[in-house]
Amino acid sequence: MFKRNIQKVFGSKGARGQFGQIGSAVEPSEGGVTGVFTKDLAEIKALDRYSQGIFATTSPHNASRAPYAEDVNSFNYMVTT
């Protein structure tokens, strides 16, 4: 017999500032500040960069750096919610 294991939501106790709209950190914004912090699922995946995949979220030079921690947090939060 298999034991049931309930999946926990990744980052459920994390602060909003630790989660970002996927791809927003590489988008230019007013005042030179980049990144949109959110735990709203619709907002997390709202940008076209989300549809383009991980390379589009890393930098304008694709894969020249690791993904932002906020993007990784948001992705894992979204798929476990």
Supply the pLDDT for residue 78.
95
Q: Who has greater pLDDT, 64 or 68? A: 68
Q: Is 49 exposed, middle or buried (0-12, 13-18, 19+ CB in 10 A)?
A: buried
Task: Provide the percentage of residues in the chain whose pLDDT is more than 70.
Answer: 84
Looking at the domain assignment, is residue 58 inside a domain?
Answer: yes
Q: Who has greater pLDDT, 2 or 11? A: 11
Q: Are 59 and 26 in contact (CB under 8 A)?
A: yes
pTM surpassing 0.85?
no
**Owning domain of residue 68:** 16-80
Looking at the domain assignment, is residue 3 inside a domain?
Answer: no
Q: How many folded domains does the chain comprise? A: 1
Give the pLDDT confidence of 35-59 residue by residue, as tens digits.
899 999 999 999 988 998 888 887 6
**How many helices and strands, by DSSP H and E, does the chain display?**
4, 0
Supply the pLDDT for residue 25.
83
Has residue 23 got a pLDDT over 60? Answer: yes
Looking at the domain assignment, is residue 54 inside a domain?
Answer: yes
Q: Who has greater pLDDT, 55 or 34? A: 55
Looking at the domain assignment, is residue 64 inside a domain?
Answer: yes
